[in-house]
């Protein structure tokens, strides 16, 4: 389950950032996750609960912001936001999308 390593990674970033800014209390960590990042949100929330235990982040909340997918059609150049990743291009009907947004996975804010 790679959500555990993602949770671990988020914690490392949060702790590192806290250290750099000389704070010892973090109340929440906000992450941005693209819809096409391949992360199962429920699994990440579950992993977070178990990974933060016995760390300075054990009382910190995890706030997840979902970034919608945006693609450009490789056939005709149309920009669109598919509801499903396998949606056809609304302009030419091809299924040849290149994902330009929606694969993000990053810590966007740390609230002390
Ligand atoms: Zn197209």
Domains annotated on the chain, with CATH: 2-111 (3.30.2320.80)
Q: Which tokens sit at 81?
A: 């936001």
Q: What is the pTM of this model?
A: 0.83
Q: What is the model's pLDDT at position 65?
A: 97
Cα-to-centroid distance, 82 and ligand 1 (Å): 12
Q: Terminus-to-terminus CA distance in the chain, angstroms?
A: 29
Cα-to-centroid distance, 77 and ligand 1 (Å): 6
In which band, very low, low, confident or very high, does the pLDDT at 86 lie, cut at 50, 70 and 90? Answer: confident
Chain mean pLDDT for the chain: 93
Q: For 71-80, what is the mean pLDDT? A: 96
User: Has residue 2 got a pLDDT over 80?
Assistant: yes
Cα-to-centroid distance, 39 and ligand 1 (Å): 27
Handedness of CA 15, 17, 23, 28 (dihedral sign): negative
Cα-to-centroid distance, 98 and ligand 1 (Å): 11
In sequence order, what are the residues at sequence separation of 6 or more whose Cβ sits closer than 8 angstroms to the Cβ of residue 112? 18, 21, 23, 25, 26, 27
Cα-to-centroid distance, 61 and ligand 1 (Å): 41
């Amino acid at each position: 389950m790679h959500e555990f390593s993602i949770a671990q990674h988020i914690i490392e970033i949060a702790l590192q950032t806290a250290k750099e800014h000389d704070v010892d209390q973090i109340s929440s960590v906000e992450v941005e996750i693209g819809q096409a990042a391949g992360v199962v949100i429920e699994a990440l929330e579950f992993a977070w609960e178990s990974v933060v235990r016995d760390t300075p982040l054990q009382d910190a909340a995890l706030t997840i912001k979902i970034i919608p997918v945006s693609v450009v059609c490789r056939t005709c150049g149309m920009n669109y936001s598919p509801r499903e990743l396998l949606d056809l291009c609304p302009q030419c009907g091809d299924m040849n999308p290149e994902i330009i947004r929606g694969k993000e996975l990053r810590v966007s804010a740390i609230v002390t």
